[in-house]
Structure 1
Amino acid sequence: MMRTWQITTVTDAARARIALARLAAAYGVPTVDRSRLAASVSAHLRQCLTKGGTWRLTLEAVGAPGGERRLHAVVTPTQDACAAGETPWEVTVACPEAAEVSGAAAVDGGADALAEALLGADEDTAVVLDKLAEQEELVAFHREELHQTNQGVLALHAELDAAGRAQREAFAAERRARTEAENARRRLTFLADASAVLTASLNHDEIVSRLPDLLVPEYARSVDVWLFDNDTNGDRHRSAPHAAAAVIAARTGRPQYAADHPGHLPGVDDQPPSALDPTRPLLCIPLPTRRAPLGVLTLSPPGERWDPDDAVMLIELTRRASIAIDNARRFEHNRDIAETLQRALLTELPTTPGLSLAARYLPATHGLNIGGDWYDAFRQPDGGLITVVGDVTGHGLHAAVMMSQLRTALRAYAVDGGSPGRLLTRLHMFLHHLQPDLYATAVIARFHPEEPTVTWAAAGHPPPVLRTPDGRVHILDAKPGAMLGIPLTQEIDDHAVRLSPGSTLALYTDGLVERRALGIDPGIERLATALAGFGSSELDADLEGAADGILRPLLSDSERDDDVCLLLCHLQGGAGQPA
């Protein structure tokens, strides 16, 4: 089907539009598409009439691939319009069905026909408006739905933003907590390490000298230790003039902070800045003890001020340093008493014709430098010479006092002229009744100028070592008695061995020969070897030097943890007769 209209006037255009709409309706074109087709053609025809001339409108029903039909409208210009460069205008609309269109496009020229066509166009317009209203309602619905969706999205974004802020705050709090925990761990580690350093020494001057090394520069820029005893005694450690805050800390026993701003430090009182240096903040912490402060520790901050937690740690470290200094002073006081007592008890050896004596006493290298080891040599009324080496269990002042009592008791018992075994038996009874929980070991050797023998007895003590003039060494390991003071009734036997000029008898304590890893027997063998290394002439000439020569190889292998006592008794080779 093809229809053609020649259009010169508006009436021609109106009739062509009416025919076009009727043909589209006949072909089943939907109202909205039909109205869109008619409106498009009318708008183009209006433009054509404005240009003038005759225009041709052609409507053709054509087939499309897949069996679909289409209405194809083409507006072509006249000959003169083509010369002016106008090109054809065309539009296509789908038509669902074929129809009988023989009379559908006829439009007469009467006014009634045009009015009827206009009303028909209004009906199409009304349908289009209804569709438009439906679309507007649908758009309004979707607009409201979109608005609600946007509100939900905004609320979701707000919630996500709040959740993000909460998460960031949680991360920040976690970082702060981790930082605080790390700082607390660092402070505790420092406090533990510093405490170990301070308590490792028993010299209070050394403890005081270690404090600046521990605190500078991490926790303080400068450190001043004011010990009251040093100022009182005019000690060489007397410090410079002290800040007023340090004097207040000494008087009140409370830490003081002197600066031109509040310190806000827990447990610390604020004071005005020090007149000695107004620009430098000072933290003055007393060194407390159970009785009264030992002094004051004055610190200046490494930066502008201290962190409150650092100040708490510094106060605790000062408390521990005070305890270490107090303990060191107590130790030094007790050591001085004990050493004075021991020096008074270890008297000089007597001089005896034909018999040389040499003694060495070395206190343990750990702890209080005094123990229960002792030696003695004295004459009996009958002319005999008693030599003794003993060892009281334990160390320190108590052991030294007990040792002095045993020494005094032995000298008192020896006045009666008893033998070494008898003397040890009486000492055993004395110690058992005097101090039931304290024990001792001892070895006694008795020399007499009219007897060619030495009589000896031992109670739980290492055996004497005898070097004969021919250089051979004998360990006198005859059965000894048990330790002195144990809850046992015992009679300690005497033993005798013949001496010749040039013989040397060594009495000693277990600290000389016993080592934890090896036991005591290898040490006794080493002592015998060292004693055998000296000739009789060397022992005659320099017994003191021989004592040092014996100690040197025996004590060079390890650090001593026990007292050492050695007593050498040498029969002069030139005496000509037995002692």
Structure 2
Amino acid sequence: MTRTWRIHTVTDAARARIAVARTAAAYGVPTVERARLATALSGRLRQCLTKGGTWLLTLDASAPADAPAGAAGALHVALTPSPAAGAAGRAAWTTTVPCPEPGPVPGTDAVPGDPEGLSEALLGADEDTAVVLDRLAEQEELVAFHREELHQTNQGVLALHAELDAAGRAQREAFAAERRARNEAERARSRLTFLADASAALNASLNHDEIARRLPELLVPRYARDVDVWLLDDEDEPHRPTSHAAAAVRAARTGRPQYAADHSGGLPGVDDRPPSALSPDRPLLCLPLVTRRAPLGVLTLSPPGERWAPDDAVMLIEFARRAGIALDNARRFEHNRDIAETLQRALLTDLPAMPGLGLAARYLPATHGLNIGGDWYDAFRQRDGSLITVIGDVTGHGLHAAMMMSQLRTALRAYAVDGGSPGRLLTRLHGFLHHLQPDLFATAVIARFHPDEHTLTWAAAGHPPPVLRLPDGRVRILDAKPGAMLGIPLQQQIADHTERLAPGSTLALYTDGLVERRARGIDPGIARLAAALGSFGPAELDGDLEGTADRLLHPLLSDSERDDDVCLLLCHLHG
């Protein structure tokens, strides 16, 4: 279906617009599309009337080729200038509107021509605009609703973002706090490890000079740039510095740690003092080395950086306390050791002088402990002019063993006044020890020399055998059957053994500390002693028996530290 209108006046334009709107409504064009078509057509018609001339408005309703019969596909509207009216050359306007449903096309008489009817038709044609406006109002209300909903959503999103941000900050703060706590725990563990290692190092020695030397090695450079160790008992030594910081002197007097600097240290348990005149440009931490009685000295430290952390200062105070205890223990040990050695040597005998017989003795305490034990040697004359030599070893160490050794030595001398052979003397000592100290045992060797007769009578009770060097350099081990240990719950009669001695012979009596080693036993040690004794020449033994004793001990004791006392008694019959 095709319709054409000639447009020359406003009335023609109004009637054509009304017809097009009604045709679009008849073909089922939606209201919004009809309103859009009517608005666009009105604008074009207004432009055409402004330009003047006659225009042709053509409306064509066509259906697709494959559509069923009677179905309309679209409305084609074209506004072109009329060639006959002199409007040729002007631009044409066309548009296409889809129409889903066909309908009856209104005729030309459907549009009234009088002004009143035309106006009424125009007002009716604007119903589409009213419907569009109503829908627009609905859309505006919907948009306003969605805008409010979006606003509320935005507020919720902003609140959620704020909560997430706060949660993020709280999580970051928690992570930072955990990291700080972990770092602090690691630093605390490091300080505790340092204290444990330092305590082990300080207590590993009982020499106070060695402990004092270790203090700077432990602290530098981790906790101090340099360390001065001031020991109050060492003031008289020439290599010690004579001047000390005023804070160090105050620490020694008061027993409280002092911090000398031009600023407050803020260290717990530490008194702040003015900077030291000796070191005004650096802080000093003066820590007293306290003991149970009085300060032993002062540790003066300079910081490895600008200053110490409070926890490091607490750790250093504890370090100084432990160092003071270690120094005090070392000095107590050295004092007791000196007393023990003095007592031990006081219990040993000065060797007598006897024509034709040379004597040399050595006593070496163990390198561990208080250096007091039960080893002893003795030599004294009998009424008949013979010489009794004895060497023995009381089981155990310490003051108790030393006192028991002294009693045995005194008892032996008392028994020897009445005479008696070495075996008889050992038998009496056995009964004495068994009744005096049932839980204490001893070993001993007694040798009796009679220079006029050139004989040696000896007896042993559980002791390593004597070693005899003959004048020609050969060495014999006198391992004839010995008696059992002294003091064991056993009745025994210890036998005597006699040897003829030629001038130039040397007898070695010794304790097991000289020859016994844990890893090798005692027999290899006795063999080494015999070989060493046989290596000396007659001139050495006749001329320097004391030096021979030293040279004999050196190769036997150079292999390891001694954990037992050593006694050696050399008896040489001059040639």
TM (norm. structure 2) is 0.88
Contact 1:457 1:493 in 2 (8 A): yes
SS of aligned partner of 1:511: helix
Distance 1:258 1:471, change over 3 A: closer
Aligned residue in 2 for 1:495: 496
TM-superposed deviation, 1:481: 3.6
SS of aligned partner of 2:217: helix
Comparing 514-523 with 158-167, which one deviates more in the overlay? 514-523
SS of aligned partner of 1:297: strand
Aligned residue in 1 for 2:322: 320
Contact 1:356 1:569 in 2 (8 A): yes
Distance 1:496 1:126, change over 3 A: same
AA aligned to 2:23 is: L
Aligned residue in 1 for 2:172: 168
Alignment map for 1:381-396 (pairs within 5 Å): 381-395=383-397
AA aligned to 1:73 is: V
Contact 1:26 1:104 in 2 (8 A): no
Aligned residue in 2 for 1:265: 267
SS of aligned partner of 1:267: coil
TM-superposed deviation, 1:211: 1.7
Distance 1:427 1:128, change over 3 A: same
SS of aligned partner of 1:29: coil
TM-superposed deviation, 1:116: 2.6
Aligned residue in 2 for 1:69: 73
SS of aligned partner of 2:507: strand
Alignment map for 1:167-206 (pairs within 5 Å): 167-206=171-210
AA aligned to 1:46 is: R
Over the aligned positions, Cα root-mean-square deviation in angstroms equals 3.0
Q: Cα deviation per residue 1:407-431 (whole Å; 9 max; x = unaligned)?
A: 3333333222233233334444544
Aligned residue in 2 for 1:565: 567
Distance 1:507 1:21, change over 3 A: same
TM-superposed deviation, 1:570: 3.5
TM (norm. structure 1) is 0.88
Aligned residue in 1 for 2:444: 442
Comparing 427-436 with 30-39, which one deviates more in the overlay? 427-436
Alignment map for 1:16-35 (pairs within 5 Å): 16-35=16-35
Aligned residue in 1 for 2:419: 417
AA aligned to 1:189 is: T
Comparing 317-326 with 395-404, which one deviates more in the overlay? 395-404
Structure 1 residue ranges without an equivalent (≥5):
575-579
Q: Cα deviation per residue 1:511-566 (whole Å; 9 max; x = unaligned)?
A: 22221122223322333343444566765565455544543443343333322222
Q: Cα deviation per residue 1:236-286 (whole Å; 9 max; x = unaligned)?
A: 354443444334333332223333333222222333444554543332222
Aligned residue in 2 for 1:513: 515
SS of aligned partner of 1:412: helix
Q: Cα deviation per residue 1:70-99 (whole Å; 9 max; x = unaligned)?
A: 223333355677646x3x433332211122
Establish whether residue 120 from structure 1 lines up as the match of residue 124 from structure 2: yes
Alignment map for 1:232-311 (pairs within 5 Å): 234-236=236-238, 238-311=240-313
Q: Cα deviation per residue 1:488-515 (whole Å; 9 max; x = unaligned)?
A: 2543503303233144332221122221
Distance 1:15 1:430, change over 3 A: farther
Establish whether residue 41 from structure 1 lines up as the match of residue 45 from structure 2: no
TM-superposed deviation, 1:14: 2.1
TM-superposed deviation, 1:482: 3.8
Counterpart-to-counterpart distance in 1, 2:108 and 2:409: 154
AA aligned to 2:367 is: T
TM-superposed deviation, 1:323: 0.7
1:475 to 464, 474, 477: 477
Comparing 31-40 with 209-218, which one deviates more in the overlay? 209-218
Distance 1:184 1:360, change over 3 A: same
Contact 2:426 2:494 in 1 (8 A): no
1:459 to 458, 461, 467: 461
Counterpart-to-counterpart distance in 2, 1:546 and 1:55: 153
Contact 1:360 1:547 in 2 (8 A): yes
Distance 1:194 1:65, change over 3 A: farther
Establish whether residue 139 from structure 1 lines up as the match of residue 140 from structure 2: no
Comparing 278-287 with 33-42, which one deviates more in the overlay? 278-287
Contact 1:393 1:438 in 2 (8 A): yes
Structure 2 residue ranges without an equivalent (≥5):
none
Counterpart-to-counterpart distance in 1, 2:65 and 2:347: 135
TM-superposed deviation, 1:162: 1.0
Establish whether residue 225 from structure 1 lines up as the match of residue 226 from structure 2: no
Counterpart-to-counterpart distance in 1, 2:486 and 2:139: 122
